[in-house]
Structure 1
């Protein structure tokens, strides 16, 4: 076996090759790109000879990018080391706090040599799953960015124009953006006519536009504390800029949503995902993107639940035992699974009964949703393993049998 540590940067890779005894064979720095990859293949070839590529184990602190794709395509065993794991392993080797790229490459090579059985090998997801991951993550990132900009607008309005917060419930809505772009300050907003407000509401396809227009106008014309004129003008300029950004983000979110639907719809497991309770095209795409579709990635349902971060962790020492939620998890995945669990409350009688049972025993709302999400992950794993769609009766039959016996 040949063990390699790869400490990557944007434009180069620090590489160390080790043999089975831990002896350093080569230490070098390779450029990112095709030339660097060719040099790495040449170095490996000199030391493994005619042996198969799977006799090479590589540790690197990332699981994506063209460099990692090329390593996997070459047949090497590639381990994506979590940076937190790497930091803890570094402390195990040295307590001085010293750190360098070459030392990190040595640490990664040593890590895959001694602890590869504890590490997760880069999954062999299909190209379709990787495409879904790209568009699903981009779509979610745009939504997060819109939320940040909406909060900035809200904070600005609170400082100089609080009446706008009363007039507009959703600052990301098309009608609110149009009216704030026209009248981003109290004086301009007070001059808006019913006709102008109604027209904006109709373009946003709002129901009862006439009644809502009167309410918005009344809210915008209420008396309120004011900032000095110069400060108000400065705030108005920032609001106008943020409104333009939010409008652009809205358009791109819509565009990316169609891309998510298109790529997710081409995946062979799409019907299984869409059959799950509380899971539509967007949530299904996000869950598929983060779980991947490598059939050998999760040994059992528990492994999938642990990766999802929905299963609890236990801290036990002596007579003390504590069960806690997992705080180290994939934020994108746990967010999607939480939304699925909440939606499943209205779409699945079994999920609703499970949630209500937890609440009746004193479990809090968020904890109950997390446990429901954990159960739904197990159901999804079973459906994917057997290639079958979700069935309400089969999924919750274990809960019906004790009730029938009682």
Structure 2
């Protein structure tokens, strides 16, 4: 039979501090384990000596250690780092900090305030796989954007025309153009037309128009030797960007295949202008455990699409919500921004917010908050989006927007 104990784990990259306390808050035993097979096995054996299904507090909501604890049957409570930081003055007057003391504090917070948190629910293997694919793809897209900005800044310093001849400098044809002509030179419409045919260009812009874009750009007074050095640097960036684009496309194909294995995918993809990738980004963060968000308000707060209110006496202020799932916020606001282009209701919520003086990001968050209620409903009951079935919710969202 399990003893009434509480466990706190201070996670670190190479090792973890573990502390076990009893119901009175007295420390029973502490341990330091390494983040490897031997250390994690030792941790599980250590916890088994106190019983099964132990309540465990930790600051991380996901990762290998979390998966091992959940699969071992323990109740894992993810406590936000802000809550941990704000609780430190309860235990010491100085700003001193150690892994062992943080592990004790986590265990004691779980003992005194455990009713405030919900234990993590194990997600299915399909959801965890989708999350790995989506997050990796998002990180690679971020790398692509940074490299493309770096390449644009470099080209602007010695050949600005190469950045404007095509729609995007990091498009396959844009990179091929830089690879073919990395240094400034005089080109003819015939040369550009032949290049576009070899690349299978489908931009529907004749070579004469592309040449006009190239020639209308500013001319850099860069010396030939300096231009050659810049060209070498540009080719290096192109060499990194090209395989990066290939891997992003490969991940997107894997994401599309993974979405076909999830029953909840049809619900999220039924939203206006959701698309497979955006729907996958939302579903990867929502998961497939409806108990995780018992109310739509909880989902909206987790997604960071509702502000934080500070109120004391006659003073009241509303501030941006920084503490949230940033990936989920990006996904839902992306959906909201796209939906206003085809959904009359979404467009009306957005434009009403703009008329009240909200800037674009704020108006999109207001629309995302409205969509979060609809997302919560179709995610929890497994239905697909149908405007006729959500009329009452839409009217409420418009009045509150």
Output the TM-score relative to the length of structure 2: 0.90
Tell me the residue number matched to 1:306. 301
C-alpha offsets along residues 201-256 of structure 1, whole Å, 9 cap, x if unaligned? Answer: 33133323423343245347x6x342344433332222111111111111111111
CA root-mean-square deviation: 2.3
Distance change (3 Å), C-alpha of 1:226 and 1:281: same
SS in 1 for 2:9: strand
Q: C-alpha distance in 1, partners of 2:327/2:397?
A: 36
Tell me the residue number matched to 1:59. 57
Contact 2:10–2:18, Cα closer than 8 Å, also in 1:
yes
C-alpha offsets along residues 250-290 of structure 1, whole Å, 9 cap, x if unaligned? Answer: 11111110011111121011111111123111000000111
Tell me the residue number matched to 1:264. 259
Contact 2:157–2:220, Cα closer than 8 Å, also in 1:
no
Query: Pick from 44, 47, 51: which aligns with 1:41?
Result: 44
Tell me the residue number matched to 2:205. 208
Tell me the residue number matched to 1:218. 215
Deviation at 1:399, TM superposition (A): 5.5
Deviation at 1:175, TM superposition (A): 1.7
Q: C-alpha distance in 2, partners of 1:134/1:17?
A: 32
Q: C-alpha distance in 2, partners of 1:120/1:401?
A: 29
Tell me the residue number matched to 1:182. 180
Q: C-alpha distance in 2, partners of 1:339/1:152?
A: 24
Deviation at 1:26, TM superposition (A): 1.2
Instruction: Give matches, 1:230-269, under 5 Å.
Output: 230-269=225-264
SS in 2 for 1:392: coil
Q: C-alpha distance in 2, partners of 1:193/1:343?
A: 39
Stretches of structure 2 lacking an aligned partner (at least 5 in a row): none
C-alpha offsets along residues 7-46 of structure 1, whole Å, 9 cap, x if unaligned? Answer: 2223322211111111111122123233323322332333
Stretches of structure 1 lacking an aligned partner (at least 5 in a row): none
- Given the alignment of the two structures, is residue 29 of structure 1 paired with residue 32 of structure 2, yes or no? yes
Deviation at 1:110, TM superposition (A): 1.8
Query: Pick from 342, 347, 369: which aligns with 1:374?
Result: 369
Q: C-alpha distance in 2, partners of 1:116/1:72?
A: 17
Contact 1:33–1:67, Cα closer than 8 Å, also in 2:
no
- Given the alignment of the two structures, is residue 323 of structure 1 paired with residue 318 of structure 2, yes or no? yes
SS in 2 for 1:47: coil
Contact 1:316–1:322, Cα closer than 8 Å, also in 2:
yes
Q: C-alpha distance in 1, partners of 2:60/2:83?
A: 12
Q: C-alpha distance in 2, partners of 1:297/1:6?
A: 22
